[in-house]
């Protein structure tokens, strides 16, 4: 194993400053009981949300997901809960439960963006930057699909969702690390004009951070904030084992 960088707030700050954006607090004071977004662009407002927790490790989510299987008589000693293998008859309810951590984040972001727009008079593009560090049950494709669908369902204030996912798969010898950045239209009618610049800068920043970590692996400070590899998810309810196995990493030796 070796340290893999997380996408942190300071990471995103360095990207937005290169794009000529500002933090809201660079230009405006924080007012008590007034929400504000994180970033101001020359023609828009952006809010950052970072998802660090594995949602399926929470007891309340496990109970509700297992109840879905019981309700629809999907039984067995062991149930594969990999999202691609969830039975069609419970898939929609299953994904709605998986998406619960996104709901409050999206609704709060909408309020923050609206209030910052009112304060600044900036009525341009409204962007949510969603970072998946720790919700490893969802790979980049599934994270983006479910998150964007939730944005379309829960917000009229968001034009674009800029999604960043770091997937770290560790085998006995080899490791696969992917940083995927894509921008999706939510309520906008055309592509975001900053998309290519944002995607390229995130990729470059991540590659630079990986280089630093590879060159200085013995530095304990780098390990403190490093990303954990994707692991198996296992829990048991009423004698049934629910399992999502981490993707297998073949050994190239």
* Each residue's pLDDT tens digit, 85-123: 999 999 999 999 999 999 999 999 999 999 999 999 999
Q: Are 134 and 54 spatial neighbours (Cβ–Cβ below 8 Å)?
A: yes
* Secondary structure of residue 23 in the 3-state scheme: strand
Question: At CB < 8 A and 24+ separation, what contacts does 9-15 make?
Answer: 9/38, 9/48, 9/50, 11/205, 11/209, 12/48, 12/129, 12/131, 14/205, 15/198, 15/201, 15/202, 15/205
| Planar angle of CA 118, 124, 125, nearest 5 degrees | 115
20-34, 62-76, 131-145, 228-242: segment of lowest average pLDDT: 62-76
Query: Percentage of residues in the chain with pLDDT exceeding 90?
Result: 68
Q: Residue 46: which domain range?
A: 9-244
Model pLDDT, residue 105: 95
Strand-pair partners of 244:
233
Instruction: Give the total residue count for the chain.
Output: 253
Within a domain: residue 50? yes
Within a domain: residue 4? no
The yes-or-no verdict on residue 73 having pLDDT over 90 is no
Model pLDDT, residue 51: 95
The yes-or-no verdict on residue 216 having pLDDT over 90 is no
Within a domain: residue 167? yes
Our count of domains for the chain comes to 1
Of residues 169 and 221, the one with the higher pLDDT is 169
What's the whole-model pTM score? 0.93
Residue of 49, 51, 153 whose CA lies nearest to 95: 153
Within a domain: residue 253? no
Look over the chain and give the mean of its residue pLDDT values, rounded to a whole number. 91
Q: Are 229 and 1 spatial neighbours (Cβ–Cβ below 8 Å)?
A: yes
Within a domain: residue 49? yes
Tokens of 129: 């930057």
Q: What is the mean pLDDT of residues 222-235?
A: 81
* Secondary structure of residue 250 in the 3-state scheme: coil
Within a domain: residue 91? yes
Model pLDDT, residue 121: 95
Place of tokens 């013995």: 218
5-39 burial code (b ≥16 CB/10 A, e <16):
bbbbeebbbebbeeeebbbbeeeeeeeeeebbbbb
Q: How confident is the model at residue 210 (pLDDT cuts 50, 70, 90)?
A: confident
Model pLDDT, residue 137: 93
Within a domain: residue 251? no
The yes-or-no verdict on residue 72 having pLDDT over 70 is yes
Model pLDDT, residue 235: 93
């Amino acid at each position: 194993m070796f340290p893999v960088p997380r996408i942190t707030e300071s990471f995103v700050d360095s990207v937005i400053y290169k794009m000529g954006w500002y933090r809201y607090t660079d230009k405006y004071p924080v007012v008590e009981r007034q929400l504000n977004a994180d970033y101001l662009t020359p023609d828009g407002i952006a809010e950052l949300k970072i998802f660090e927790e594995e949602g399926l490790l929470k007891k309340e989510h496990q109970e509700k997901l297992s109840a879905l299987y019981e309700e629809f008589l999907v039984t067995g000693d062991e149930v594969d809960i990999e999202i691609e293998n969830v039975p069609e008859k419970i898939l929609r309810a299953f994904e709605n439960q998986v998406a619960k951590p996104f709901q409050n984040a999206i609704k709060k972001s909408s309020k923050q963006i609206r209030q910052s727009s009112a304060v600044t008079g900036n009525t341009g593009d409204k962007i949510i930057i969603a970072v998946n560090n720790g919700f490893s049950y969802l790979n980049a494709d599934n994270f983006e699909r479910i998150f964007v669908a939730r944005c379309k369902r829960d917000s009229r204030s968001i034009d674009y969702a800029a999604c960043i996912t770091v997937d770290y798969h560790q085998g006995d010898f080899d490791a696969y690390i992917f940083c995927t950045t894509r921008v999706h239209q939510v309520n906008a009618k055309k592509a975001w004009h900053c998309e290519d610049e944002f995607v390229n800068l995130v990729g470059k920043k991540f590659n630079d951070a990986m280089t630093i970590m590879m060159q200085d692996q013995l530095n304990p400070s780098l390990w403190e904030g490093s990303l954990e590899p994707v692991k198996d998810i296992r829990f048991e309810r009423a004698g049934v084992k629910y399992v999502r196995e981490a993707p297998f990493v073949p050994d190239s030796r």
